[in-house]
Amino acid sequence: MNAATPLAGRVAVVTGASSGIGEASAELLAALGARVVVVARRVERLDDLVVRIGEAGGQASALAADVTDAAAARAAAERVAAELGGADLLLNNAGVMLPAPIEELTADQWQRQIDLNITGLMNVIGAFVPQLVEAAGTRGVADLINTSSIAAQNIFPNFAVYSATKAYVTHLSRHLRAELGAKNVRVSAIEPGIVGTELQSHVTDEGARAWLEGSKETMEWLTPQDVAQTVGFIASLPPRANLQQVTIMPTGQPS
């Protein structure tokens, strides 16, 4: 294994790749030698990302898909299998954060978070886990990395539904590790604190927006590149080593 490109020969699928953590992780995984497939709904952004990765010397291709559509997720997996022989690294990263007091009864926002953060996650797992298991049997290792949140562990008023979806991600990841680890598929959950991404721009509740803006005065937020470095480290470990759960926090964020 080349120390500069420890992921050479691997095929990495990244969902939610049109911005933020997914975008930064795709760029880093490509720099580490992986052939990256970027998946999201916004085709133009994916195409721009593929060009940037290519200009930096990496390899990438784009697949436009809405992961809340199970058929679309399966079709994406079929293309990866047909064109690249299957994935051996999956960063399951697509998600949305829409905090609001529960008494506001924003049922449409509750459902949107459940649809993307839970159902979308499961659609992608269902589509790609068979490829991961097959790849692990051949090369001795494959990786399923799920993006969770510190909200899965800690209590944040007005973030109840979002936090519950992320608790699902973390607990699911631990169970999948128990199932898949014996088959050489490493499963990891990354739980970042506040990261400066598009997620904040989606927030409509004024109280939550004010809290997020106020936090900038007391701490320096993480960048997507900080989380991407964590993804790259997890995937570059020797096959015998699996980081089950990683919490990465802004130094100034207390909880």
Q: Where are the beta strands (DSSP E) in 7-50?
A: 11-15, 35-40
Catalytic residue among 110, 128, 159, 162: 162
Scanning 149-244, the segments in alpha helix (DSSP H) are 160-180, 199-202, 206-215, 224-236
Q: What residues contact 181, with CB distance under 8 A and at least 6 apart?
A: 187, 242
* Cα–Cα separations (whole angstroms), residue 7 to 30, 58, 63, 170, 220: 8, 11, 21, 25, 31
> CB of 144 within 8 A of CB of 187?
yes
Q: Is 162 designated active site?
A: yes
Residues labelled as active-site residues: 162
